[in-house]
Structure 1
């Protein structure tokens, strides 16, 4: 081996090469770190928003029986009401959208039943722990 041909790096060259690489990779990894909670909440919120509310078989039958057709705007507002109920810790929520009333199981993101407000008996809703008016 010929040392005179500069086949070997000096200590300064080695330090510059390896320490700057390590510092750059450390900076990148620190910048890209997000807490587990941040990742979990952003992922779950994105999935929740993307999925929209589901309708149980019973709720779908009620919509059909009562000739209720939801517009896209009403569906979005129903989803918004469900998200708001979830943020407040409500499990079974009454969500009022225009003249429509929905009972929503918030943890499952599922509409349990649906009706027009004019069809409700004496405007009494049972087995709910919160209401959202949108």
Structure 2
């Protein structure tokens, strides 16, 4: 059976060597804001999101050096992305955990 378009899209936008899925919305935000996250950083994000999920976190704010990501730990999905400067003036709601990776 041929893979569907959505399967191709998810494999194309999935960070290398991780189980995290980047939503279409988040991928657009990463591209629009020219946010670059290394493969090593994606691996650390995935590890910490998995840990957070085991602790009962469903939705998390993940702060890395140049970006702020909202990640569904429950679904292993990056929901949206902002650059750190933009994130300074934001209020984040509906999250129940924060991961800081600087």
TM-score by length of 1: 0.58
Superposition RMSD in Å: 1.6
Q: Give 5+ residue unaligned stretches, structure 1.
A: 1-49
1:76 is paired with a residue of what secondary structure?
Answer: helix
Aligned residue for 2:11? none
Per-residue Cα deviation, 1:27-85 (whole angstroms, up to 9, x for no partner): xxxxxxxxxxxxxxxxxxxxxxx752110000000001001121111111111221121
Q: 2:22 aligns with which of 55, 60, 75?
A: 55
The answer to which structure has the higher strand fraction is 2
The answer to which structure has the higher helix fraction is 1
Larger Rg: 1
Distance 1:51 1:74, change over 3 A: closer
Whether the aligned pair in 1 keeps the contact of 2:35 and 2:66 (CA below 8 Å) is no
Report how many residues are paired.
Answer: 85
Aligned residue for 1:110? 77
CA–CA distance in 2 between the matches of 1:127 and 1:102? 13
Shifted more, 56-65 versus 78-87: the winner is 78-87
CA–CA distance in 2 between the matches of 1:124 and 1:80? 25
Q: Give 5+ residue unaligned stretches, structure 2.
A: 1-16
Greater RCO (Cα-Cα under 8 Å, separation 6 or more): 2
1:93 is paired with a residue of what secondary structure?
Answer: strand
TM-score by length of 2: 0.75
